[in-house]
């Protein structure tokens, strides 16, 4: 009996030990699974975040491409345009987006073809400033006694205010582009656009005492970024008494491509060769230093050809990518 008793106790102890081992194994397995799951979760989260960033970058780039595709006049193909890389980081108050355009040639409406021997008119226009480059551009213009047009964005720092004043004081045309230059907000609704444009007009009036009369839509009047039919905006600005100006020659300084200043000069010169009146799109945003370099050469060549270089005024032929009565594109 004793033996069988002690045998029973041993069995029971072994069973307990076995059960304990099984418990330990199960707990350890669960713990390992939990740990592995957590690691996998963390790894997947990191991956998802990474992919999200990637998707956002691709979407930004795509949006840029779409924006730039909208600027042709009689040619509606969607060629990629991109003004600057979408990775650009803007300080508060900087334009979030730039108009982009890889096309350097426009086929203009009849009536504006260059006729040999006729006096050509060229309007140099600078978008997206003021910036650090604006001083230099104004210096070059002053040196050659050329007046130009600046479609500005809204900035309230002292330097920018000084630039708005200098543009006016030196006889250039100060014109409205957009206060925020954020396509996503201004083209959300007519109301949003009105507020943005009014804010810019008020700022420029406060700083310079001048109410600008001319408007350039970010991306041009035929941009395809706007959620609202662009003709609503065109109707609004014209009802308000503004004239809007697009362009028929681009320097190419808005593109992604690493154009040298020589390329920019070539683009402008080959563009204006087609027209009686050329409105040349350039930019005086911070990152457009090649524009400053190209400007001197462009002016010298144009003056050498006897071309008239003028600031936009009420007599300027209006170049429009879209009219109020255009077919919806």
Residues lying near Zn ion in the complex (CB under 5 A) are found at 99, 127-128, 218
Q: Which one, 128 or 263, has the nearer CB to Zn ion? A: 128
Q: For residues 286 and 181, what is the distance between their CA atoms, to the nearest angstrom?
A: 14
Q: Which one, 121 or 181, has the nearer CB to Zn ion? A: 181
Q: How far is the CB of 287 from Zn ion (least distance, A)?
A: 13
Q: For residues 219 and 225, what is the distance between their CA atoms, to the nearest angstrom?
A: 8
Q: Which one, 94 or 135, has the nearer CB to Zn ion? A: 94
Q: How far is the CB of 217 from Zn ion (least distance, A)?
A: 9
Residue 116 is encoded by which pair of tokens?
């040999």
Catalytic residue among 172, 283, 320, 321: 283
Which DSSP category does 285 fall into? Answer: S
Q: How far is the CB of 45 from Zn ion (least distance, A)?
A: 38
Residue in this structure with the two tokens 């201004």, named with its chain if needed = 186
Contacts of 110 (CB under 8 A, 6+ apart): none
Q: How far is the CB of 135 from Zn ion (least distance, A)?
A: 19
Residue 219: HSE in the Cβ half-sphere, 13 Å Cα cutoff:
27
Q: How far is the CB of 175 from Zn ion (least distance, A)?
A: 12
Across 281-299, b (16+ Cβ under 10 Å) vs e yields: bbbbbbbbebbbbbbbbbb
Q: Which one, 97 or 266, has the nearer CB to Zn ion? A: 97
Which DSSP category does 176 fall into? Answer: E
Structural contact between residues 91 and 131, judged by C-beta atoms closer than 8 angstroms: no
* Beta-bridge mates of residue 283: 127
Q: How far is the CB of 92 from Zn ion (least distance, A)?
A: 17
- 289-304 and 261-272 helices, crossing angle to 10°: 40
Q: How far is the CB of 64 from Zn ion (least distance, A)?
A: 12
Tell me the three state secondary structure of residue 283: strand
The total of other beta-carbon atoms located within 10 Å of residue 172's CB is 22
Structural contact between residues 290 and 296, judged by C-beta atoms closer than 8 angstroms: no
Q: Which one, 108 or 127, has the nearer CB to Zn ion? A: 127
CA distances from residue 115 to 33, 74, 222, 277, 310 in whole angstroms, order as listed: 81, 20, 27, 11, 19
**Is 320 a known active-site residue?**
no
Q: Which one, 125 or 267, has the nearer CB to Zn ion? A: 125
Catalytic residue among 127, 246, 266, 284: 127
Tell me the three state secondary structure of residue 105: strand
Q: Which residue is nearest to Zn ion (CB)?
A: 99
**Is 101 a known active-site residue?**
no
Q: Which one, 109 or 195, has the nearer CB to Zn ion? A: 195
Which residues form the catalytic set?
127, 283
């Amino acid at each position: 009996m004793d033996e069988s008793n002690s045998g029973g106790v041993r069995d029971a102890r072994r069973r307990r030990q076995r059960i304990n081992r099984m418990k330990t194994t199960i707990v350890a397995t669960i713990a390992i699974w939990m740990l592995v799951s957590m690691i996998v979760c963390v790894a997947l989260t990191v991956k998802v975040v990474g992919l999200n960033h990637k998707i956002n970058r691709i979407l930004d780039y795509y949006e840029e491409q779409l924006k730039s595709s909208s600027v042709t006049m009689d040619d509606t193909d969607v060629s990629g345009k991109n003004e600057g890389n979408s990775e650009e980081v803007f300080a508060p108050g900087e334009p979030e987006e730039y108009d982009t355009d890889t096309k350097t040639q426009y086929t203009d409406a009849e009536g504006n073809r260059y006729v040999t021997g006729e006096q050509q008119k060229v309007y140099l226009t600078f978008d997206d400033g003021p910036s650090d480059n604006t001083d230099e551009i104004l210096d070059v213009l002053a040196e050659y006694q050329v007046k130009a047009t600046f479609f500005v964005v809204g900035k309230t720092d002292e330097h920018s205010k000084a630039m708005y004043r200098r543009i006016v004081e030196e006889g250039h045309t100060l014109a409205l582009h957009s206060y925020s230059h954020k396509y996503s907000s201004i083209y959300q609704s007519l109301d949003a656009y009105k507020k943005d444009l009014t804010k810019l007009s008020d700022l420029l009036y406060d700083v310079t005492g001048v109410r600008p009369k001319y408007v350039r839509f970010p991306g041009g009047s035929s941009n395809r970024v706007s959620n609202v039919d662009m003709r609503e905006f065109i109707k609004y600005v014209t009802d308000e008494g503004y004239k809007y100006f697009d362009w028929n020659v681009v320097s190419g300084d808005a593109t992604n491509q690493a154009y040298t200043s020589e390329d920019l000069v070539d683009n402008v010169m080959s563009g204006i060769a087609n027209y009686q009146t050329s409105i040349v799109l350039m930019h005086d945003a911070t990152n457009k230093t090649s524009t400053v370099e190209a400007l001197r050469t462009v002016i010298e060549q144009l003056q050498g050809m006897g071309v008239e270089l003028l600031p936009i005024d009420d007599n300027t032929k209006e170049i429009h990518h879209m009219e109020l009565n255009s077919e919806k594109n």
